[in-house]
Amino acid sequence: MKTNPAVLLLIGGILLIAVGAVWTLQGVGILAGSVMSGSTMWAVIGPIVAIVGVYLIVRWWRGRSKTA
């Protein structure tokens, strides 16, 4: 079974946005119960990871529109 690289961009982007959102919420203290809760470092890293996820989805979207 061969995996389409475009699908990997989409799935990776969605996962990075989700992880980035969780890390951000933990960093600002909204999601408690972790060693990351209330840590400024995760409040900064989370949005960066989410932005990379958005970038991957934009690349997927642009590649999709070129092949259509």
What is the model's pLDDT at position 67? 59
Q: Cα(46)–Cα(34) distance, rounded to whole angstroms?
A: 15
Q: What is the pLDDT along the chain (68 residues), one digit of tens a residue?
A: 677 888 999 999 999 999 999 999 999 999 988 888 989 999 999 999 999 999 999 999 998 766 55
CA nearest neighbour of 22 among 12, 33, 11: 33
What is the model's pLDDT at position 33? 87
